[in-house]
Amino acid sequence: MSQKIFLDGTFVPREDAKVSVFDHGLLYGDGVFEGIRVYDGVVFKLEEHLERLYASAKTIMLEIPYSRDEMREIVRQSCRENGLESAYIRLVVSRGPGDLGLDPRKCGRATVVVIADRISLYPPELYENGMSIGTGSTRRSRAEIINPQIKSLNYLNNILAKLEANQHGWGEVLMLSEEGFVAECSADNIFMVRRGVLVTPAPHLGILLGITRATVLDLAREAGYETLETTFTRHELWNADEVFLTGSAAEIVPVVKVDERSVGDGKPGPVTKDLAQRFRAYAPTNGVHI
């Protein structure tokens, strides 16, 4: 079956899914997006994703030409059109076509694209054995430059960091805040377990408040783990008992080495395994059915 892409009001074959070369999303990274998982016919935390999408759009004064109810149905229909019970959805809203100038007032109507496809971000052995990460030189952008709560199409900061990961052979790259505190990775949030406490960077450090991040914090608290959102340096991270990453595509990935320093005993830890198991059980039952 040919893959169908939702593009501005209709589903078209993949090869016909094209946008204008004058679209501000292409020319300037002017737009917002969401990455959403579907588990066994359930669109995971769809309402939370839509809330973040519309909040991001409001901040950049981008009018989405569909209501939330309409967008919810578009996402669900994208899965049905492609016969997908488990999938990764990329929902993109750009400013739309204008001219070669910067002024967004020249763009008449936003472009909306919804892609439903299969995805495997990391190889299965990394979930079993863990990955190695390293610290990049690219710092996370400050909120007054580009607020990380805006999940925008401008991902050059993240791309520059990912290039460093590729150059060094790391599975992911750790990004620090301007002050040198641990912030997040190029596409994932980061957690550590230290002396029995689950710790993750505080929101003010310039991180995206991931949907999976929030879910893991909730699951951890329900399981009786002590959790803490705070500032910490690489010194604390290097001496953590466990480290793992979270993201919509990645889910929960154990980290066994940071900057050539082994984490704990060099194997995925018990808290990481427990939370990953809890997440896998939770995800297919929490969302909107397609």
Residue-wise pLDDT for 185-197, tens only, equals 999 999 999 999 9
pLDDT of residue 45: 98
For residue 27, being part of any structural domain is answered with yes
| pLDDT one-digit tens code per residue, 28-43 | 999 999 999 999 999 9
Q: Name the residues annotated as catalytic.
A: 151
Based on the domain organization, do 105 and 186 belong to the same domain?
A: no
The token pair at 162 is 């990912």
pLDDT of residue 206: 82
Q: What is the CATH number of the domain that holds 141?
A: 3.20.10.10
- Mean pLDDT confidence for 55-73: 98
Sorting pLDDT into bands at 50, 70 and 90, what band is 143? confident
d(CA 273, CA 252): 9
Which of 79, 94, 117 marks a domain boundary? Answer: 117
Q: What is the 3-state secondary structure (H, E, C) of 90-151?
A: EEEEECCECCCCCCHHHCCCCEEEEEEECCCCCCHHHHHHCEEEEECCCCCCCCCCCCCCCC
pLDDT of residue 88: 96
Residue of 39, 41, 137, 153 lying closest to 94 (CA atoms): 153
d(CA 42, CA 87): 10
For β-strands 42-44 and 87-94, DSSP reports them as unpaired
Based on the domain organization, do 132 and 185 belong to the same domain?
A: yes
pLDDT of residue 176: 97
Which of 117, 150, 168 marks a domain boundary? Answer: 117
pLDDT of residue 147: 86
Based on the domain organization, do 146 and 102 belong to the same domain?
A: no
Based on the domain organization, do 113 and 148 belong to the same domain?
A: no
For residue 80, the enclosing domain spans 4-117
Considering the chain, what is the average pLDDT of its residues? 96
d(CA 227, CA 220): 7
Based on the domain organization, do 197 and 250 belong to the same domain?
A: yes
For residue 261, being part of any structural domain is answered with yes
Based on the domain organization, do 184 and 263 belong to the same domain?
A: yes
- β-strand partners of 229: 200
d(CA 41, CA 79): 9
| Confidence check: pLDDT of 1 > 80 | no
For residue 87, being part of any structural domain is answered with yes
The answer to whether 66 and 97 are in contact (CB under 8 A) is: no
Based on the domain organization, do 73 and 159 belong to the same domain?
A: no
Residue of 133, 287, 158, 131 lying closest to 211 (CA atoms): 287
Q: Which residues contact 183 (CB under 8 A, 6 or more apart)?
A: 140, 175, 176, 177, 201, 205, 206, 207
- The tally of domains found in the chain comes to 2
Which of 117, 133, 148 marks a domain boundary? Answer: 117
Q: What percent of the chain is modeled with pLDDT above 90?
A: 92
For residue 105, being part of any structural domain is answered with yes
pLDDT of residue 47: 98
Helix H or strand E encompassing 194: strand 189-194
CA dihedral 231, 229, 51, 86 (to 10 degrees): 110
Sorting pLDDT into bands at 50, 70 and 90, what band is 119? confident
Q: What is the CATH number of the domain that holds 10?
A: 3.30.470.10
The answer to whether 5 and 91 are in contact (CB under 8 A) is: no
The token pair at 109 is 């109507």
Based on the domain organization, do 157 and 260 belong to the same domain?
A: yes
d(CA 111, CA 26): 11
Based on the domain organization, do 112 and 130 belong to the same domain?
A: no
For residue 290, being part of any structural domain is answered with no
Based on the domain organization, do 98 and 151 belong to the same domain?
A: no
For residue 218, being part of any structural domain is answered with yes
For residue 288, being part of any structural domain is answered with no
pTM: 0.95
